Structures are given as C-alpha cells and as structure tokens.
Chain A
C-alpha cells in the first residue's frame, strides 16, 4: 500500500530561521512521483514541486529546497530564512503508476508551520 507520513504535526519558528519539514513515503511502485503542496489560511492548495522517482537531484527554488533520498524513502523540504508569509499547512503527496489509478495523490496529514515575526 502507498503511504505518506509527515511526523511533524506543528512547527513554530521565528522569522529568518531555517526550517525543515519531513516527509517519509512507502510504495512498491518502481515509478512514482512526489509532490509538495502549500495550503495557506485561505484554503487553496498551491503546487510547489513534483519529482519523479528516477530523479534524485536536489532542487532549489529561491528560499525553498528539497532533498530526495530513495535510500531512506524521504523527500524533505527546507525553507531558508523563513518569513511570516510562509505560515501555512504543508502537504507531502505521492502518486504511482499502479493499476488504473495513475495520478491518485496520496497525501500526508500535513505539517502546520507558524512563522512568528
């Protein structure tokens, strides 16, 4: 079965601190995709990144960076120099190429990040 675990329920940091959100996944698929989404208080899910299982290169986008390690089944997300606008719930998600259900996103329970000024 596919599963995504975000062990951190809530994290609180002070502005300008770096913060890492953990994501551990389980899948039997050899081809799969990992995603991060941001859900601000307004409620709309905002796409941040998609990685496929064959691409283990880390990615950096501005203050955001992602560390994908197949050996530990982890896809962690780091925000450098956090800002108040980063306050949101962050979801890690997984989809695979199994059966006829490609694209079905399996979400973790989310990590609520609060950045205080």
Chain B
C-alpha cells in the first residue's frame, strides 16, 4: 500500500516569496492533516480536513497561510508571503477517520532566507 506522498522534499525561497506544498494521502483516508515542525520541537497541527471540509484551522496563520482539499483527496498548503520564522518541515498526515493512527509523509523542508 502506498504511503502519504509529499512534494517537493526541499524548498529554499527568499522572504516575501510564495511557496506551495502538495500532499497525496493514503487511498481511502478521509482525514488529512498539515503539521509544522520547527527544528527541535514536536509537530504542531496547522489544519485538519475531513474529506474536503475544514475541521480545525485554529492554529493556521490565516493572514499568510492557506490550504485546500477540493476533491477530498489531494491537498495543497500555500504560504504567501513567507517569513523567516516559517522555516520548518511541513508534514502531511492522513488517517482513516479522526482519532485513528495518523500516517505521515516524508515532509517538505522549507528554508526561508
């Protein structure tokens, strides 16, 4: 069974530029999550989707971050404009339903210069 796919794996941008990350969850998983992991810390949830609806985006900096899951499968996370403090690994995870184990993708390491 294929795991969670993410691209790109690495991205380097200048501050104030825009960037987008893509995630393809495990087939059949209704719940999709985006986490931000800053170096030396545990992941922090940014947004949670149930199918194509947003369940929780309370920790998403909505002035610069946006995410969508239009057809209830793939998802994109966008940052516009990026700040230095956005340098982190962005992890996508999926689960069959809420509170089931989450399976994580390899992450996208973002460096903002």
- Bound pair: A and B? yes
Residue ranges of A at the interface with B (Cβ–Cβ < 8 Å): 4, 33, 35, 37, 42-47, 50, 91, 93, 95, 97, 100-105, 107-110
Do B106 and A43 touch across chains, with their CB atoms under 8 A apart?
A: yes
List residues of B (56-99) whose CB comes within 8 Å of A's CBs: 56, 58, 89, 91, 93, 95, 97-99
- Having A101-B58, A103-B97, A105-B35, one finds 20 other A-B pairs with CB under 8 Å, namely A4-B42, A37-B104, A44-B104, A44-B106, A45-B104, A50-B100, A91-B42, A91-B43, A93-B42, A101-B48, A101-B55, A103-B31, A103-B48, A103-B99, A104-B56, A105-B33, A105-B43, A105-B102, A107-B44, A109-B41
Is there an interface contact between A44 and B42, defined as CB atoms closer than 8 Å? no
Q: Is the CB of A47 within 8 A of B42?
A: no
State which of B33, B55, B109 has its C-beta within 8 Å of the C-beta of A100. B55
- When distances are taken between beta carbons in the complex, the residues of chain B under 8 Å from A107 are 42-44
Q: Does B25 contact A (CB under 8 A)?
A: no
Minimum distance in angstroms from B38 CB to a CB of chain A: 11
Query: Could you say which residues of chain A place their CB within 8 Å of the CB of B95?
Result: 103
* 16 A–B contacts from the bound complex (CB under 8 Å): A35-B102, A44-B106, A45-B93, A45-B104, A47-B101, A47-B103, A91-B42, A100-B55, A101-B48, A101-B56, A101-B58, A105-B43, A105-B45, A107-B43, A109-B40, A109-B41
Count residues of chain B with CB under 8 A from any CB of chain A: 29
In the complex, what residue of chain A is closest to B31 when comparing beta carbons?
A103
Residue numbers in B under 8 Å from A50 (CB-CB): 100-101
Q: Which residues of A contact B97 (CB under 8 A)?
A: 103
* Distance in angstroms between the alpha carbons of A68 and B43 in the assembled complex: 23
B98 smallest CB distance to A (angstroms) = 4
Set B33, B55, B56, B102: member contacting A47, Cβ < 8 A: B102
Whether B48 lies near A45 (C-beta < 8 A) is no
Counting from the closest, the 5 A-B pairs by CB-CB distance are: A107-B42, A103-B98, A102-B98, A45-B104, A101-B56
